Structure 1
Amino acid sequence: MKFVSTRGQTKPHLFSEAVKIGLAPDKGLFVPESMPDLSQEIPTWEGLSYPELCYEFFKHFATDIPADELKSLVEKAYSRFDHKEHAPLVKLSDKLYVQELFHGPTLAFKDFALQLLGCLYERQVAMSGESINVLGATSGDTGAAAISGLLGKKGVNIFILYPDGRVSPLQERQMTCLEEENVFPLCIKGSFDDAQAALKDVFGDKEFSQEVHLSAVNSINLARILAQCVYYIYAYLKLPADRRERATFVVPTGNFGNVLAGWMASRMGMIVDGFRVATNQNDILHRFFDAGDYSLGEVLPSHAPSMDIQVASNFERFLYFSLGGNAEMTREIMESFKKDGSFQVGGMAITEFMTSTRMDDEEIAKTISEVYREYGYTADPHTACGFKDLDKLETAVVLSTAHPAKFPDVVANCTGVEPTHPSLEALKSKEIRKFSVDPDEASIKAFIRSKQ
Structure 2
Amino acid sequence: MRYVSTRSAAPGKPFSDILLEGLSADGGLYLPESYPQVDAGTLAGWREILLSDGYAALAFEIVRLFVDDIPEADLRGILERAYSPAKFLDPAIVPVTHLSDGLWLAHLSNGPSAAFKDMAMQLLGELFEYELERRGESITILGATSGDTGSAAEYALRGKPAVRVFMLSPQGRMTPFQQAQMFSLDDPGIVNIAVEGVFDDCQDIVKEINADADFKARHRIGAVNSINFARLLAQIVYYFAAWLRVSDGEPVSFAVPSGNFGNIVSGHIAREMGLPIDRLILATNENNVLEEFFRTGGYRIRGAAETLATSSPSMDISKASNFERFVFDLLGRDPERTAELFGAQLVDGRSFDLGQTPEFQGQCERFGFVSGSSSHADRLAEIRRVFEADGVVIDPHTADGVHVARTLAVPGPVIVLETALPIKFAETIVEAIGVVPPTPARFEGIEELPRHVIDVPGTAAAVRAVIEDRMAQ
Superposition TM-score, scaled by structure 2 size: 0.93
Mapping 1:179-218, distance limit 5 Å? 179-218=186-225
Structure 2 residue identity aligned to 1:438: P
Between 65-74 and 425-434, report the one with greater CA deviation: 425-434
**Distance (whole Å) between structure 1 residues aligned to residue 44 and residue 341 of structure 2:** 38
SS at match of 1:278: strand
**Distance (whole Å) between structure 2 residues aligned to residue 118 and residue 284 of structure 1:** 31
**Distance (whole Å) between structure 2 residues aligned to residue 91 and residue 400 of structure 1:** 13
**Distance (whole Å) between structure 2 residues aligned to residue 406 and residue 388 of structure 1:** 20
Q: Determine if the alignment matches structure 1 residue 32 to structure 2 residue 49.
A: no
Is the contact between residue 371 and residue 404 of structure 2 (CA under 8 Å) also seen in structure 1? no
Alpha-carbon offset, residue 216 of structure 1: 0.4
**Distance (whole Å) between structure 1 residues aligned to residue 144 and residue 461 of structure 2:** 16
- Report Cα offsets for 1:269-307 as digits up to 9, x if no partner: 101211100000011011111122210231100000000
**Distance (whole Å) between structure 2 residues aligned to residue 101 and residue 29 of structure 1:** 25
Is the contact between residue 3 and residue 18 of structure 1 (CA under 8 Å) also seen in structure 2? yes
Among candidates 154, 159, 169, match of residue 152 of structure 1 = 159
Q: Determine if the alignment matches structure 1 residue 332 to structure 2 residue 351.
A: no
Alpha-carbon offset, residue 263 of structure 1: 1.0
- Report Cα offsets for 1:391-417 as digits up to 9, x if no partner: 512221111100001111110221121
SS at match of 2:370: strand
- Find the counterpart in structure 2 of residue 373 from structure 1: 388
- Report Cα offsets for 1:298-334 as digits up to 9, x if no partner: 1100000000000000000000111111111111111
More helix by share: 2
Report the CA distance shift for 1:129/1:194 in structure 2 as closer, same or farther (over 3 A).
same
Alpha-carbon offset, residue 438 of structure 1: 2.3
Between 384-393 and 110-119, report the one with greater CA deviation: 384-393
**Distance (whole Å) between structure 2 residues aligned to residue 251 and residue 398 of structure 1:** 6
Alpha-carbon offset, residue 10 of structure 1: 4.2
- Find the counterpart in structure 1 of residue 324 from structure 2: 316
Structure 1 residue identity aligned to 2:450: E
Among candidates 215, 220, 241, match of residue 234 of structure 1 = 241
Is the contact between residue 10 and residue 26 of structure 1 (CA under 8 Å) also seen in structure 2? no
Is the contact between residue 9 and residue 26 of structure 1 (CA under 8 Å) also seen in structure 2? no
Q: Determine if the alignment matches structure 1 residue 68 to structure 2 residue 73.
A: yes
SS at match of 1:397: strand
Report the CA distance shift for 1:351/1:338 in structure 2 as closer, same or farther (over 3 A).
farther
Q: Determine if the alignment matches structure 1 residue 451 to structure 2 residue 470.
A: yes
SS at match of 1:134: strand
Alpha-carbon offset, residue 54 of structure 1: 0.6
**Distance (whole Å) between structure 2 residues aligned to residue 122 and residue 366 of structure 1:** 44
**Distance (whole Å) between structure 2 residues aligned to residue 341 and residue 100 of structure 1:** 37
Name stretches of at least 5 consecutive residues in structure 2 with no aligned partner. Answer: none
Alpha-carbon offset, residue 388 of structure 1: 2.1
Q: Determine if the alignment matches structure 1 residue 128 to structure 2 residue 141.
A: no
SS at match of 1:428: helix
Structure 1 residue identity aligned to 2:419: T
Among candidates 258, 266, 283, match of residue 271 of structure 2 = 266
Among candidates 424, 428, 443, match of residue 410 of structure 1 = 428
Between 420-429 and 370-379, report the one with greater CA deviation: 420-429
- Find the counterpart in structure 1 of residue 296 from structure 2: 291
**Distance (whole Å) between structure 2 residues aligned to residue 390 and residue 171 of structure 1:** 27
**Distance (whole Å) between structure 2 residues aligned to residue 255 and residue 424 of structure 1:** 26
Structure 2 residue identity aligned to 1:400: E
- Find the counterpart in structure 1 of residue 443 from structure 2: 424
- Find the counterpart in structure 1 of residue 45 from structure 2: 44
Dislocated runs of 4+, deviation >4 Å: none
SS at match of 1:223: helix
- Find the counterpart in structure 1 of residue 458 from structure 2: 439
Name stretches of at least 5 consecutive residues in structure 1 with no aligned partner. Answer: none
Report the CA distance shift for 1:240/1:127 in structure 2 as closer, same or farther (over 3 A).
closer
Between 10-19 and 105-114, report the one with greater CA deviation: 10-19
Q: Determine if the alignment matches structure 1 residue 91 to structure 2 residue 115.
A: no
SS at match of 1:140: coil
Query: Considering only aligned residues, what root-mean-square deviation do their CA atoms show, in Å?
Result: 1.3
Is the contact between residue 42 and residue 269 of structure 1 (CA under 8 Å) also seen in structure 2? no
Alpha-carbon offset, residue 450 of structure 1: 1.1
- Report Cα offsets for 1:381-437 as digits up to 9, x if no partner: 000001225451222111110000111111022112111222222312311110112
Report the CA distance shift for 1:389/1:210 in structure 2 as closer, same or farther (over 3 A).
closer
Mapping 1:104-183, distance limit 5 Å? 104-183=111-190
Alpha-carbon offset, residue 371 of structure 1: 1.6
**Distance (whole Å) between structure 1 residues aligned to residue 455 and residue 336 of structure 2:** 38
Between 60-69 and 343-352, report the one with greater CA deviation: 343-352
- Find the counterpart in structure 2 of residue 355 from structure 1: 370
**Distance (whole Å) between structure 1 residues aligned to residue 420 and residue 298 of structure 2:** 29
Between 416-425 and 70-79, report the one with greater CA deviation: 416-425
Alpha-carbon offset, residue 9 of structure 1: 5.0
Between 39-48 and 361-370, report the one with greater CA deviation: 39-48
SS at match of 1:135: strand
- Report Cα offsets for 1:35-69 as digits up to 9, x if no partner: 11122422210032110111101111110000010
Alpha-carbon offset, residue 123 of structure 1: 1.3
Between 67-76 and 10-19, report the one with greater CA deviation: 10-19
Between 32-41 and 303-312, report the one with greater CA deviation: 32-41
- Find the counterpart in structure 1 of residue 21 from structure 2: 21
Report the CA distance shift for 1:156/1:270 in structure 2 as closer, same or farther (over 3 A).
same
Is the contact between residue 373 and residue 404 of structure 2 (CA under 8 Å) also seen in structure 1? no
- Report Cα offsets for 1:211-260 as digits up to 9, x if no partner: 11111010000100111000000000001416x31x21000010000011
**Distance (whole Å) between structure 2 residues aligned to residue 427 and residue 177 of structure 1:** 7
Q: Determine if the alignment matches structure 1 residue 342 to structure 2 residue 351.
A: yes
Structure 1 residue identity aligned to 2:397: H
Q: Determine if the alignment matches structure 1 residue 275 to structure 2 residue 280.
A: yes
Superposition TM-score, scaled by structure 1 size: 0.97
